[in-house]
Amino acid sequence: MSSAKDVKGPRARGPEAAPGAEPEPPSGRDSDPEPPARGRGADPEPPPPGGVLWSLAGDIRALLMLPAALTLQVAHPAVGAGVDEHSVFRTDPWGRGERSLRSLQLWVYGGAEAAEEGRRLRVLHRTIQGTDTRGRPYHALTPANYAWVHATGFPVYQHAARYLIRPMAPAQERALYAEWLQVGRILGIHDRDMPQSIEEFWPYWEKMLAGEIEATTVVRELVDVDQPVPPPDRGPWPLRAVLRALWPVLLPPLARFRRFVTIGLMPPDARAAVGLPWSAEQEKRLRRMCAVLRVVVPVLPERLRYLPRARAARAARRTAAPHG
């Protein structure tokens, strides 16, 4: 997902586009970007406080899961082409990452802001269109494309949690999927365009891996350890100055780690479909790292264990809870 500053070029103006200058999205059922009717004035509900996603998405270990999901998103030829042509991920990777994370946190912890964020994203993506690597015209809000971006989250969460937290019981997996469907509705995706149960999801997933997913240009860049990345431009200026000075030394190991967690926490069938190599030795290293994190993270104080938006939502929920 992108934010208003994540697109570029004359066709990629987001909410700042001049009045009357916004082009119409493609017409017809297969490219209808509007959300389903849910009653006059009713917004889709975000995932429930205290649910599986509520506990998972704000945990700092979820940061290690995001690269796998983002890489799978751009393995779709249309999504990859859209990011390749319109995103600022090459020139502003830290800003784009920060905005994407803020957006995701709003879907889960934003309350009334969640639906507003979904609307903002749909406005942003209305002008993103072009031709994908297979010569097919694409639009970012074509349901098959937009739904794939959403769909990647569930299998990555389900798979990566086995390593970083604990394997989910079947009831937890079902709850996670139901909550992820709520996120899809917040994003404006019709129920008809999302598999409505786990039993429907896995055949869809296998079909996408077998016939649609590939190692796009953006996928190759995201796992390339030699790809240039500018030093961080967020945080206190003394820290930025130190990082800038040390960046030539810090970037190579950070790039290797990014590739390691991106490929390692990707579901194996997706990893194979994209053609990303993974060895038995790498698997052992990943399991050792995750074993340490499973022990260390749960004993951290809340201010270190949870991301700011999640931490604030948890505090607000405790304050609102009735006292016995």
Which pLDDT value is given to residue 323? 57
Which pLDDT value is given to residue 195? 96
Better-scored residue on pLDDT, 195 or 87: 195
Which pLDDT value is given to residue 41? 60
Is 269's pLDDT higher than 60? yes
- Mean model confidence pLDDT for the chain: 85
Q: Which residues contact 165 (CB under 8 A, 6 or more apart)?
A: 56, 59, 61, 294
Is 8's pLDDT higher than 50? no
Which pLDDT value is given to residue 21? 28
Identify whether the C-beta of residue 80 lies closer than 8 Å to the C-beta of residue 151.
no
Distance separating alpha carbons of residues 76 and 140, to the nearest angstrom: 11
Cα 324 to Cα 318, 320, 321: the distances in Å are 13, 12, 9
- Alpha helices by DSSP H, 265-300: 268-274, 280-296
What digits encode the pLDDT tens for the residues 78-106? 999 998 888 777 888 888 888 889 999 99
The pLDDT confidence band at residue 259, using thresholds 50, 70 and 90, is very high
Distance separating alpha carbons of residues 93 and 259, to the nearest angstrom: 15
Tokens standing for residue 227: 């790809």
Going by C-alpha positions, the residue among 143, 103, 137, 81 that lies closest to residue 3 is: 103
Cα 72 to Cα 122, 124, 151, 298: the distances in Å are 20, 21, 10, 28
The pLDDT confidence band at residue 77, using thresholds 50, 70 and 90, is very high
What digits encode the pLDDT tens for the residues 17-43? 222 222 333 333 344 444 443 444 688
